[in-house]
Structure 1
Amino acid sequence: MFIFKTKKSPFYQLTYDLNGKRTTVSTKTANQKEAYKFMANFSRESNEPKEQIHFISLSKFRDEYKEYIKLTKSKSYLRSVELSFKQLISFAGDISLNRLSILTLDKFVTSTFARTQRGAGLYYRTLKAAFSKAVLWNYLSDNPLKKIKAPKIAKPFPVFISDIELRIILEHTHKEYLKVLFTTAFYTGMRLGELLNMKWNWIDFKQNIITVQCSATFTTKSKKERIIPISPLLRSQLSNQLPKVINLENNSFVFTRINGIKLNEDFISKQFKKSVRAAGLDDKIHFHTLRHSFASQLVQKGVSLYVVKELLGHEDLSTTQIYSHLQKQNLEEAISLL
């Protein structure tokens, strides 16, 4: 995009590319300074000056953005937002949002990637989503991270455990409610947040199903409800919890230490890790491994990836395809055709 002047007009002209074609529009001014100002505010899409960009510091935008998303995003996502902005502000300073250059952001992503590949990916995704909202709110004219390639991170196969290893973990778990919680995660593939928000009215013992529900205080990651059948083993364990419940119509939590008080995600994760270490198993095993294990068992037993996708509540089949390497029989059949 540049300005120029011809003998045919007293006004400076602005030339820019639109869908691969060079297009010219008059700035309607003979003053070079005003012409450059016109170019700075020019919008290719509308041929009109852009809406005025509002100035806001990174820290103030972070606070406004967190306030906006706190009702629709999980606590872990909010922590990711906090951490991503903390790292960016530490690198670039608490400057005005619209002063963030592509060069600065590129250096930030690159330097972070040199320290932590997963961190670089997390910060990139989180900040990119935040900056898209900044464009909508007229804090930015466009999203600078859209012009920077996402860091490529090698994706290892997900860690999973067998039912034998689950039993070993349960043997080193002392609290009964934790044993049932870990077992439910293994046999349903539910996320930790879903399990801790699950209430007794989610469970239909007549039809042997759990309906993962959204409410005013909780929404699933995909913002959609889903149905998960209950296995006979899990049904037996959940049924044993029933006598401890005073009133099923009271929408009380299934897993709780104090009636009516929801368990903390970090506490449960640490308790599971404590049991894993006590059992002497691989330290790479964490609570989310139970979800991977549920999916891995199904795939290895010939269940289609589409069905696994629906049970896990994935929005896109590509997310479920991390388990495709487990379809050993399909791979062998493909090779046998050679």
Structure 2
Amino acid sequence: MNIKILCQLFIQYLQLEKNSSQYTLNSYQKIIEQFLVFMEQQSISSFSSVTYFDVRLYLTTLHDKQLSRRTVSKHISCLRSFYRFLMRENEAKENPFILASLPKKETMIPRFLYKEELEKLFTISNLEHELGQRNQALLELLYATGIRVSECCSLKLKDIDFHIGTILVTGKGNKQRYVPFGSFAEKALHTYIEDGRNKLIVANQQNNDDLFLNHRGKNLTPRGVRVILEKMIKETSLTNKIHPHMLRHTFATHMLDSGADIRSVQELLGHENLSSTQIYTHVTKERLQKVYNLHHPRA
């Protein structure tokens, strides 16, 4: 079968059978396209002709590009899955990536904001203006719930239940979960929905049920959220860079610091594996160690 057709079938398989997110589909598409370039450079005409030696050579090219261990692992996982699909379709007899070992994960301590830094961000927005109301609601909701930016941007008006203070979030693999939000987020959302959002809809003659809108009245994108946060940082005296995921890190860290159990935090974050949540315990342990060293007479 044609190489490009096989690639398209694999993406369809991920979408329809594996229910993969759009982010995963785009990521896997790019990885396979890069592998196709490698195959062309090595004059490899078919997927079934790829050997373990070719795989090692491919991984060497990735290391030469100084890609992170995490990125290299993603390449291996993607192509390993791709070859499993090819074997199922009888387009390959063996999986040359099965013996490729995943690099050891780098221990990355997630960056988060301190409460004092957050307070500065919460006072920046002009609540008399529709975009200021939107930005405040966005900031409050991201910190109140710890949801991913992609999850936030896909929220609809109907997903908010003000009576019990929860939102219905659609996460990775289209898995849904209910996440509570507090009084600050509730107030900011009410102000934005009843005033600022209506102005954005009317001024741009748009009609949709997306919760967060851009200045043109259309759905706000994750990139748009990044730009908003960067502008907010510039208006404060804060010097550190901020990315949207930092608010998710901050939510998890502050919850654990305040005594929340890790299983509850795992459920709120929508993590499938507890190991994904445990990274935040390193932050709290580090903080406790600093407090101990600073205040204990015999530290």
Q: Same fold (TM over 0.5)?
A: yes
CA distance in 1, matches of 2:120, 2:50: 52
Q: Name the TM-score, length of structure 1 as normaliser.
A: 0.70
Bigger drift between 140-149 and 321-330 goes to: 321-330
Q: Larger % of helix: which? A: 2
Q: 2:32 aligns with which of 66, 85, 88?
A: 85
* Correspondence for 2:249: 292
Bigger drift between 172-181 and 125-134 goes to: 172-181
Deviations 1:102-158 (A, max 9, x none): 111122123313421243122222222222222222222232212110122312101
CA distance in 1, matches of 2:89, 2:227: 39
Whether 1:132 and 2:81 are equivalent positions in the alignment is: no
Q: 2:175 aligns with which of 224, 228, 231?
A: 224
The answer to whether the Cα contact below 8 Å between 1:201 and 1:251 also exists between their aligned partners in 2 is no
The answer to whether the Cα contact below 8 Å between 2:226 and 2:244 also exists between their aligned partners in 1 is yes
* Correspondence for 1:105: 55
Q: 2:10 aligns with which of 42, 65, 76?
A: 65
CA distance in 2, matches of 1:96, 1:241: 55
Shift of 1:170: 5.0
Shift of 1:80: 1.3
CA distance in 1, matches of 2:208, 2:177: 18
Shift of 1:173: 5.8
The answer to whether the Cα contact below 8 Å between 1:56 and 1:97 also exists between their aligned partners in 2 is no
Deviations 1:181-225 (A, max 9, x none): 122111111111211111122211111122224xxxxxx205322
Distance 1:104 1:187, change over 3 A: same
Q: How does 1:44-193 map to 2 (within 5 A)?
A: 55-57=1-3, 59-70=4-15, 72-93=19-40, 95-114=45-64, 115-117=66-68, 118-170=70-122, 175-176=131-132, 177-193=134-150
CA distance in 2, matches of 1:329, 1:90: 44
Deviations 1:71-92 (A, max 9, x none): 6333332331232123222222
Distance 1:137 1:171, change over 3 A: farther
Whether 1:281 and 2:239 are equivalent positions in the alignment is: yes
* Correspondence for 1:52: none
Please give the secondary structure, in 2, of the residue aligned with 1:142.
coil
CA distance in 1, matches of 2:53, 2:102: 14
Q: Which has the larger radius of gyration?
A: 1
Please give the secondary structure, in 1, of the residue aligned with 2:172.
coil
Q: Which has the higher contact order (CA 8 A, sep 6+)?
A: 2
Please give the secondary structure, in 1, of the residue aligned with 2:90.
coil
CA distance in 2, matches of 1:86, 1:281: 38
CA distance in 1, matches of 2:172, 2:282: 25
Shift of 1:329: 9.7
Distance 1:270 1:107, change over 3 A: farther
CA distance in 1, matches of 2:225, 2:122: 14
Residue identity (%): 25
What is the letter of the counterpart of residue 232 of structure 2?
A: S
CA distance in 1, matches of 2:235, 2:26: 29
Distance 1:299 1:95, change over 3 A: farther
CA distance in 2, matches of 1:156, 1:76: 22
CA distance in 2, matches of 1:101, 1:107: 10
